[in-house]
Amino acid sequence: MITGIPDGGSLYEFTTDDGFHVSLHEARCRQIVVNPMALSLKIVFDLDPETADEAARQVTYDFADARIDDWCDEGDGPHQVPIETRGQVSNFSLSADRYFVLETLNMTMYFEASTLDVRVSR
């Protein structure tokens, strides 16, 4: 079950009930918090201040009953992503009702969750 994204929207791009357009196209993944004891996962994105509405500068995705299946970070190594572009979102999608894929320029995460609550804030 997903709350906070109106019908017709996607994890990557949607318009809130208040009329704020949210796009992760130029957003950066600022924080990922995993709590294995509570089976929760929180992902926070900072939206591009040049294109985001002033009242919609940050998006928080709170997942419950979450399990990470794979998490690959390409931040270090021979093909290191420059620090200024790390966390830039390439894709955030849902398939099969509870299987999520988050891709940034430097990492990919595959995970499952039963519920998602999305909040938009300043």
3-state secondary structure the chain: CEECCCCCCCCCEEECCCCCEEECCCCEEEEEEEECCCCEEEEEEECCCCCCCCCCCEEEEEEECCEEEEEEECCCCCCCCCHHHCCEEEEEEEECCCEEEEEECCEEEEEECCEEEEEEEC
Average pLDDT over residues 5-23: 85
What is the band of 113 on the pLDDT scale with cuts at 50, 70, 90? very high
Average pLDDT over residues 81-110: 84
Q: Are 11 and 113 in contact (CB under 8 A)?
A: no
Structurally, the chain folds into a number of domains equal to: 1
Task: Provide the token pair at 96.
Answer: 């099969």
Residue pLDDT, tens place only, 34-90: 999 999 999 999 988 777 677 678 999 999 999 999 999 876 655 666 566 677 899
pLDDT at 84: 64
Q: How many CB atoms lie within 10 A of CB 27?
A: 23
pLDDT at 65: 96
In this prediction the pTM is 0.87
Residue pLDDT, tens place only, 60-72: 999 999 999 999 9
User: Cα–Cα distance between 75 and 31 in angstroms, integer?
Assistant: 15
Q: Where in the sequence is the domain holding 64, given as residue range(s)?
A: 2-121
pLDDT at 1: 76
When computed from its CA atoms, the radius of gyration of the chain, rounded to whole angstroms, is 14
The residue with tokens 């009953």 is 65
